[in-house]
Amino acid sequence: MAERKRAIQLKLWVDENEKNLIEKKMKILGTRNFGAYARKMLIDGYIIKVDYSEQRKLAAEVNKIGVNINQICKRIDSTDRVYSEDVAELRKRMDEVWRLLKSKL
């Protein structure tokens, strides 16, 4: 048998309600590893899970806008001409970036 990193085993008895509550909290946290969950809770007393879903959405939107800006810049670079429509589109896209950023703050 492989050497264990931790040599001391702790046991704990719970009733059905406590077990269900622990499993529910583990599910909310997004972990299935009871040992890691129990160790963290016993040592620190709490776990904070940060929801980054809004930041991911914002990053995806900003990325799409960046792709559009890149396409306009490539067209300007290949034709050596700057059209007022291109400049207006770039301003519109940058305004959109600022609007998204301000709405999330």
Higher pLDDT, 105 or 32: 32
pLDDT tens, 13-71?
A: 999 999 999 999 999 988 999 999 998 888 888 767 888 888 888 888 888 888 888 88
Q: What is the pTM of this model?
A: 0.46
Q: What is the mean pLDDT of residues 71-93?
A: 82
Cα distance between residue 79 and residue 55, in whole Å: 36
Q: Mean pLDDT lowest for which of 7-16, 22-31, 81-90?
A: 81-90
Residues 97 and 62 sit within 8 Å (Cβ to Cβ): yes
The pair of three-digit structure tokens given for residue 30, joined into one six-digit string: 């997004």
Cα–Cα distances (Å) from 77 to 35, 69, 73, 81, 93, in that order, read 57, 12, 6, 8, 18
> Which residue ranges make up each domain of the chain?
1-49, 53-104
